[in-house]
Amino acid sequence: METESDALVSLKLLTRNKHLVEARKAKGMAQVAFSKAVGIGFQKYADIENLKRSPTVGDQSKISSYLGLFPDDLFPAALLEAIEADVFGHRDATLDTPQIISLTEAQHLQLVYQDEEMDDIDGRLLAERIGTALDSLPPRQREVIRHRFGFDGRAKTLKETGRYLGLTAEGVRKIETKVLRKLRHPTISRNLEDFV
């Protein structure tokens, strides 16, 4: 049997109430400011957010009413039961060679990630790469593409784009054709290949 000192990797796990953290951050507040605003001591609030302590009914009410949410949305019964059962109490883990190999294989097979999360990551990465490609264009060309393909909201027609930019529809079409040719150039398009 392998002891903790024989393990190759030692992990410290961070557990958080994801919905509570996101709601607090949406208010633009740090833990300290939020705990003061809701009238709960900082350490107590930090323990609630980090799933080390189950919130009292009063604490749930204070937190959820401040955030404008229902207590059940932030503190579902299953989560409260898990906290009470000390499911999140064991925050240290060690991995030996077979476990590391298993994790590596799982990641390679993309079993570690949920499809939804991967799509979200891919979408953000694609948007970032498209943004970089567009930033390499002169301002007028960039605006034509942003309006025509809806990067600023709704895709617009040649006429709508022309009206907005003070160009004729034919002028917009020519710029669009020129820009799309530029974007197909291997030095730019290779950054987008993974998404095509």
Per-residue pLDDT at 148? 87
Give the pLDDT score at 66: 94
Q: What confidence score (pLDDT) does residue 168 get?
A: 94
Classify residue 167 as left (phi > 0), alpha (psi -120 to 50) or beta: beta
Low-confidence ranges of the chain (pLDDT < 70): 1-13, 90-126, 189-196
Q: Which domains does the chain have, with CATH numbers?
A: 12-92 (1.10.260.40), 115-195 (1.10.10.10)
